[in-house]
Structure 1
Amino acid sequence: MSVEHGDNDDPSILYHYTDAYGVVGIVDSSWRDYAILKPENEIGRHKTIKLQASDIRFMNDTEELKFGTRLLRNHLEALAVDPSISPEFRAAFADIAPYFFPEGTLDWPVSCYATSFCVKGDLLSQWRGYAGGTGGFALGLDRDGLENRSYSIGRDRWPGDREAPAKVTLKRVVYGEDAGIAAIDEHIEDLMKTNWTSIITDRRPQHSQQARLLLFTMLVRAVAIIKDDAFKEEKEWRLFTMGEFRWPVDVRARARGLLPYKNIAVNVSWKATAPEHEAHHKEHPTIVDLVVGPGPEQAEQVVAARELLKGTDHEPKVVRSSKVTYR
């Protein structure tokens, strides 16, 4: 039985497609950085899971990043001469636009780390593209937990100097130029209402570098959710966080080389005691669906997936088989 809730625009469950190695790593509650999220005297397993958010500059298709970067730069240049914009912001947009050079993403002063989701938990294109073809898994996660109780976990720069946990952002990806420009405009309107406007528009020489870095950090978030129309059928959502290069990040190996990433703790409970943690996760389960993808050993993998969830303190009854035939 399918448990997908909501529609494509307002889903209550979002699906992360992965392979067997990925699903084991995601639900493992013993990962090293989790200790900072709970009191030192806390004992026992908890139902927070971890995701790896990849540096968007190293995504599989670099053209999608160039598309959003080019769109943002062109729009900033237009806003820089728009008389309806205040002179302070026109100057700020004119100053920052050249830094969004589509061929210069590797030179960004900050980066954005993202992990992807789909609104559907049993799509052939996703099994093929993101879960290894056969033997994959679609992890159905509670959107509320992703949106409101998830944090990026930084690494120590040196003992005792750790980047503080930061709230992550969940956004629906938009496709094409028109939707991309609308998303940029919405982002800029929100930016212009923040308490940072006096810093962003400060053109004094001694403050210009700080103003430029802050504005760049705010604007690059828009690039993270813009893709070409060709990818529209994916109906993707992204969970993302920012990172300054003064803080180290983890790096993992993949077939094409190395990939920088940050860990994200999903559905964190900030309660003080074990019973309160248990009550929180009973009311707000992290994993609400787990679809075992098509493959020759699907029945066995359903049983194995239930054992995985049971052993990590999640509800094993949420595991189900894909209905897709993949040959």
Structure 2
Amino acid sequence: MFDQFEKHLYQTVFPTRPPENIFHFTTQSGILGIISSREMWATQVHFLNDKHEIFLTFQLLEKQLKRRIGSAQTPALRSLLVDIRKHLKNIDQRHICIASFCEKGDLLSQWRGYGNQGKGYAIGFNLSELRKIAKQQHFVLWPCVYSVSLQLELVNYLIDNWLREFCDNKLSHEKMRKIIDISTGQLAPILKDESFSEEVEWRLVSSVLTSKSPGFAFREGQYSLIPYYKFAITNQSGNDCIKSIIVGPSPHHELARNSLTTFLNTQKLSRVEIKSSKIPFRHWK
């Protein structure tokens, strides 16, 4: 059912005219690490800046399952829906890692988060090439879904798929749990509250990982160690998909551009186009 659901996701949420490039906002230390290592750190979902956003999908699923349980026409259907609901309550510790991008490379809200003190950058990646690289590493790249009506459609489509799969096949509870785990892992990272729609965010989403997965690592966090995945931004031929870099608002714009140019030259990335933010510099708080 996973291929079927992924196909439905593509048909439903992937734009008919996708942007040529998408942008990853980062800091000085971030751009140094990404360019030097040709890797991005995809953070485990429970350690995102807003750790509650991943639960939106579970809240929607809970609401729809509760509604269906109340209107179930047979005891067997009601029992199955209750089982699904129980499984959902036990899968909130999945190791799914994500990295975020925006369609807009010069966005005030993002500079406020990453560019304070004039230290922000937006790395522009070619969308088509990044999708190919993602597939090689068992990641997918989706636009986030902000529309409430579309979110409900996707959640109910997922429930319908579970019911068909579980009714047609006699599966163990462990097999059911695994199917629910993997399929919610595809959907949960891309449903976001509509108040964030300005970001027009895309997310790079891993398959379900374990602590033994190659590339799985930990970094220092404010309150705890943070698990993440080392996502390579080069393809199997060693070519990366960085096309441009936007230097964020800065009190020393030319200096920032010149030093970035020199750094890219040392990394054999002189072909990368460098642009400057059109937003005036402020000491945002």
Same-fold status (TM-score > 0.5) = yes
Q: Closer, same or farther in 2 for the Cα pair 1:202/1:286, shift >3 Å?
A: same
Which residue of structure 1 aligns with residue 207 of structure 2?
Answer: 242
Aligned amino acid, residue 150 of structure 2:
A
| Mapped contact 1:109–1:244 kept (Cα < 8 A) | no
Change beyond 3 A, Cα 1:58–1:121: same
**Which whole-Å CA distance do the structure 2 matches of 1:317 and 1:208 have between them?**
51
CA distance 1:297–1:178, shift in 2 (3 Å): same
CA distance in 2, matches of 1:136, 1:73: 39
Structure 1 residues 26 and 261: alpha-carbon distance in aligned structure 2, compared to 1, 3 A threshold: same
Displacement of 1:171 in angstroms is 0.8
Aligned to 1:51: 40
Instruction: Please state whether the residue corresponding to 2:99 is helix, strand or coil.
Output: strand
Alpha-carbon distance, 1:149 to partner: 1.8
Task: Please provide the CA RMSD for this pair.
Answer: 3.2
**1:113-139 alpha-carbon deviations (Å, 9 max, x no partner):** 111111011111110123445211000
From 55, 60, 85, the counterpart of 1:66: 55
1:259 aligned partner, one-letter code? I
- Alignment equivalent of 2:251, drawn from 291, 296, 299: 296
Q: Deviations over 1:51-70 (max 9, x none)?
A: 11111111112332232221
Distance 2:71 2:261 in 1: 58
**Could you tell me which of 125, 128, 139 is aligned with 1:168?**
139
| Distance (whole Å) between structure 1 residues aligned to residue 134 and residue 114 of structure 2 | 23
In structure 2, how many angstroms separate the alpha carbons of the residues matched to 1:21 and 1:286? 20
- 8 Å CA contact 1:294, 1:325 repeated in 2: yes
CA contact (8 A) 2:98 2:204 kept: yes
Residue 234 of structure 1: CA displacement? 1.5
Superposition deviation, residue 96 in structure 1 = 2.5
Q: Name the structure 1 match of 2:269.
A: 314
> SS where residue 95 of structure 2 aligns?
strand
8 Å Cα contact 1:188/1:219 also seen in 2 = no
- Structure 1 residues 149 and 258 mapped into 2: Cα distance closer, same or farther (>3 Å)? same
Task: Please state whether the residue corresponding to 1:108 is helix, strand or coil.
Answer: coil
1:140 equivalent among 106, 115, 124: 124
Retained in 2: the 8 A contact 1:54–1:113? Answer: yes
Unaligned runs of 5+ in 1: 1-6, 30-48, 152-164, 272-276
Q: Identify which range, 131-140 or 18-27, moves more after superposition.
A: 131-140
Q: From the superposition, tell whether residues 136 and 109 of structure 1 become closer, same or farther in structure 2 (CA, over 3 Å).
A: closer
Partner residue in 1 for 2:84: 96
* Gap change, CA 1:124 and 1:109, over 3 Å in 2: closer
Question: Are 1:127 and 1:133, in contact at CA under 8 Å, matched by a contact in 2?
Answer: no
Deviation, 1:109, is 4.9
TM-score with structure 1 setting the length: 0.70
Distance in 1 (alpha carbons) for counterparts of 2:145 and 2:217:
28
Instruction: Say if 1:19 and 1:202 are closer, same or farther in 2 by CA, change over 3 A.
Output: same
* C-alpha separation in 2, matches of 1:149 and 1:192: 33
Partner letter of residue 111 of structure 1? H
In 2, distance between residues paired with 1:266 and 1:93?
Answer: 41
Q: Following the alignment from structure 1 to structure 2, what is the Cα–Cα distance between the partners of residues 78 and 310?
A: 59
How far apart, CA to CA, are the structure 1 residues paired with 2:233 and 2:178?
Answer: 28
SS in 1 for 2:141: strand
Deviations 1:271-299 (A, max 9, x none): 4xxxxx5xxx4xxx611110011112221
Q: Displacement of 1:25 after TM fit?
A: 0.9
Aligned-residue offset at 1:317:
4.7
Q: Using a 3 Å threshold, how does the CA distance of structure 1 residues 246 and 64 change in structure 2: closer, same or farther?
A: closer
Structure 2 match to 1:287: 242
Worse overlay, 296-305 or 251-260: 251-260
Q: Is the 8 A contact 2:97 2:206 kept in 1?
A: yes
What's the CA shift string for 1:187-207, capped at 9, x where partnerless? 5677789xxx47x96545xx3
Contact 1:172-1:237 at 8 Å conserved across structures: yes
Please tell me whether the aligned partners of residues 134 and 204 of structure 2 are also in contact (alpha carbons under 8 angstroms). Answer: no
Q: Report the Cα distance in structure 1 between the residues aligned to 2:46 and 2:97, rounded to whole angstroms.
A: 9
Distance 1:234 1:99 in 2: 32
Larger helix proportion, structure 1 or 2? Answer: 2
Deviation of 1:309 after TM superposition, in Å, equals 2.0
Aligned length: 265
Identity across aligned pairs (percent)? 25
